[in-house]
Amino acid sequence: MAEAAIELIGINKSFGAVRANRDIALEIPRGTIHGIIGENGAGKSTLMSILYGFYQADSGEIRVNGKPTNIKTPNDAIAVGIGMVHQHFMLVENFSVLENVILGAEGEALLKKSIAKARSELHRLEDEYGLEVDPDALIEELPVGLQQRVEILKALYRGAEILILDEPTGVLTPAEADHLFRILQQLKEQGKTVVLITHKLREIMAITDNVSVMRQGTMVATRKTSETTVEELAELMVGRRVLLRVEKGEAKPGAVKLAVKNLTVRDSRGVTMVDDVSFDIRAGEIVGIAGVAGNGQSELMEAVSGIRKAVSGTVMLDGTPIDLTGQADPGELRDRGLAHVPEDRHHVGLVLAFDESENSILGYHDKPQYLKGPFLNLDAIQKDAQEKIEKYDIRPANPRLKTANFSGGNQQKIVLAREIEQDPGVLIVGQPTRGVDVGAIEFIHRRLIAMRDQGKAVLLVSVELDEIRSLSDRILVMFAGRVVGERGPETSEGELGLLMAGVEHKEAAE
């Protein structure tokens, strides 16, 4: 075995009563790709944050290239060649890509000079790794998929030798993920070390050399990837056997519940993101929208749920038409039984500074059961939050804990619980299992199918082709703002992939 790039010895970290890491020992050989998996809240991000200097361990030792190293701040980590791509992006939203990449590494006193230098360096990195992003685009205008690329560029720009990626593929399509993996493979060939946290066991099997499994703060096993199986890993993570396939019966579609007509949406720069799209969803069916990130799915969802103004279009909810062009009001749509689980849970679906119970009423805070006159009915809100926590197994089970302190998967459950438990007629879900562990995915998928079986209409947008195929009763494929095809769930990945790449669309147009 090669010399260890990183050695962690006896790492402990507690947050109040929560022991996020207990006595963690881990050795990562140089020049390998090392996977770390574990349930939501198992302590993966915490461990990596300790390595990257965001947190200080309560006790324990970090050795980098054999040398005991004291990493107190991210700058210390960067200095010893550790780079990190965070689970939750750390980008300045109203800065351009270029500005974000050089932020904190400006180097020169004059910004102009370093920007010019950065631009050429960025071009080199982009060419070398095929990470294409418009260097002058503003972050807030980029879809999550592209923001991710910026994060990776940022770490590479700082010359990281050891690259930590915390759930990098959560928002990528399989094709994009493959692309990322080729980059990681290339990095490995150049002798760099990659630590990859992911919930997707498929990825672990495809790319890692070794894999470590965490559960409830402890490191339960480390395996050579070639000597283990997906089933073994899933069981090690969750502590029980996990059903990796979705089980669902036949759909029994009823009347049309949600009809979207002639929807056109432009972004703030005036680029048409959704181009005259119409479709129906019936009661009792799940319609999935497949597409490469950035092809209008996000804007479609935002317009239909009323948080983004459309250029044209209406939505019929149970036969009542609602105009989406004027001051479309998400509150009104919600009142009419349309619930929305947004893709971007951090900025849209949650207020991270609120405690869990406050978030559990976001958007429903004007419902009489949560109010006493103009006052919040705190008892009712707490009780309600507690019930959801139990039903959705949100951990830690503390409605007063600040939402920012929940792990990614548990934050997602907070949003899902809020939206599903209001018993809406129509549910629009974006990336429902982004960053969610296998056990919870199983749970969320079951809930979505239960919604369908209760006669609700579900619109599912996901970059996970697997997820789309296994949950949807019908699949719409979006490319460049248009619906370019409708397919059944049994359609092969290859065929969908071609549609998503716009292949058939082009042929049809010629």
Give the binding-site size for another protein (rule: CB under 8 A): 56
- Residue 501 engages another protein in binding (rule: CB under 8 A): no
Which residue in the shown chain puts its C-beta closest to Mg ion? 45
Q: Binding string, 394-433, against ligand ATP, x = CB under 6 A?
A: -xx--------xxxxxx-----------------------
Q: In this chain, which stretch among 106-114, 189-197, 355-363, 437-445 interacts with another protein, using CB under 8 A? A: 355-363
Query: Which residue in 8, 57, 146, 444 binds another protein (CB under 8 A)?
Result: 57
Helix axes 378-391, 408-421, angle to 10 degrees: 110
Q: Return the one option of ligand ATP, another protein, Mg ion, none that residue 116 interacts with (CB less than 5 to 8 A, by type).
A: none
Q: What is the 3-state secondary structure (H, E, C) of 167-201?
A: CCCCCCCHHHHHHHHHHHHHHHHCCCEEEEECCCH
CA distances from 498 to 189, 218, 255, 476 (A): 30, 43, 32, 13
364, 422 contact by CB (below 8 A) = yes
**Which residues neighbour 250 within 8 Å (Cβ) at sequence distance 6 or greater?**
none
Which of 39, 464 has the CB closer to Mg ion?
A: 39
* Residue 347 contacts another protein per CB under 8 A: yes
What residues between 62 and 101 interact with Mg ion by CB under 5 A?
87
By a kind-dependent CB cut-off of 5 to 8 A, residue 205 interacts, out of ligand ATP, Mg ion, another protein, none, with: none
Determine if 61 is a binding residue for another protein (CB under 8 A): no
Residue 9 in contact with another protein, rule: CB under 8 A: no
- Regarding 46 and contact with ligand ATP (CB under 6 A), the answer is yes
Q: Which does 406 bind (CB under 5 to 8 A by kind): Mg ion, another protein, ligand ATP, none?
A: ligand ATP
Burial of 274 (0-12, 13-18, 19+ CB in 10 A): buried
d(CA 460, CA 462): 6
Helix-helix angle 144-157:174-189, to 10 degrees: 10
Print the binding letters for residues 127-146 with another protein: x by CB under 8 A, - otherwise: -------------x------
Query: Exposure of 94 by Cβ count < 10 A (0-12 exposed, 13-18 middle, 19+ buried)?
Result: exposed
CB within 8 A of 251, min separation 6: which ones?
284, 285, 286, 452, 473
Q: Does 24 bind ligand ATP (CB under 6 A)?
A: no
Query: How buried is residue 373: exposed, middle or buried, by Cβ count under 10 Å (0-12/13-18/19+)?
Result: exposed
C-alpha span between 483 and 485 (Å, rounded): 6
Q: Which of 418, 494, 426 is closest to 460 using CA atoms?
A: 426
Backbone phi, psi, residue 66, to 5°: 85, -15
- Shorter beta-carbon distance to ligand ATP: residue 20 or 381: 20
| Span from 30-38, 142-150, 336-344, 383-391 in contact with another protein (CB under 8 A) | 336-344
β-strand pairing of 59-64 with 4-15: antiparallel
For residue 252, the tally of other CB atoms under 10 A from its CB is 13
331 makes contact, choosing from another protein, ligand ATP, Mg ion, none, with CB < 5 to 8 Å by partner type, with another protein
Where do we find the tokens 């619906």? 483
Identity of the residue, 296 or 306, whose beta carbon is nearer to another protein in the bound complex: 306
When the beta carbons of 48 and 484 are compared against another protein, the nearer one is 48
User: Considering only CA atoms, which of 477, 426, 476, 434 is closest in space to residue 452?
Assistant: 426
User: Residues, the chain, total?
Assistant: 510
- Which residues in 313-372 contact ligand ATP (CB under 6 A)? none
Residue 273's SS3 state is strand
β-sheet bridge partners, residue 392: none
Out of 9, 29, 65, 88, name the contact with another protein by CB under 8 A.
Answer: 88
Of 226, 242, 188, 182, residue with least CA distance to 28: 188
**Is the CB of 76 or the CB of 232 nearer to another protein?**
76
Helical (H) or strand (E) element with 79 = helix 74-79
Residue 405 interacting with another protein (CB under 8 A): yes
Binding segment toward ligand ATP, per CB under 6 A, in 13-21, 100-108, 224-232, 305-313: 13-21
Stretch that binds another protein, among 108-116, 174-182, 352-360, 440-448 (CB under 8 A): 352-360
Q: Does 42 bind ligand ATP (CB under 6 A)?
A: yes
> Applying CB under 8 A, does 362 fall inside the site for another protein?
yes
Query: How many residues sit in the footprint of ligand ATP (CB under 6 A)?
Result: 22
CB of 502 to another protein, least distance (A): 30
Instruction: Work out whether 498 is an interface residue with ligand ATP (CB under 6 A).
Output: no
Of 9, 22, 31, 74, the one binding another protein by CB under 8 A:
74
Residues 24-53 that bind Mg ion (CB under 5 A): 45
Residue matched to tokens 């949650």: 350
Task: Please report the beta strands in 351-479, taking only residues with DSSP state E, as ranges in sequence order.
Answer: 371-372, 375-376, 426-430, 457-461, 474-479
| Binding at 40: pick from Mg ion, ligand ATP, another protein, none (beta carbon under 5-8 Å per type) | ligand ATP
Q: Which residues bind another protein (CB under 8 A)?
A: 13-15, 49, 54-58, 72-75, 78, 88, 90, 92-93, 103-105, 140, 154, 305-307, 329-332, 334, 340, 342, 344, 346-354, 358, 362-363, 365-366, 371, 374-376, 378, 402, 404-405
Q: Which residues bind ligand ATP (CB under 6 A)?
A: 15, 18, 20, 38, 40-46, 87, 395-396, 405-410, 435, 437
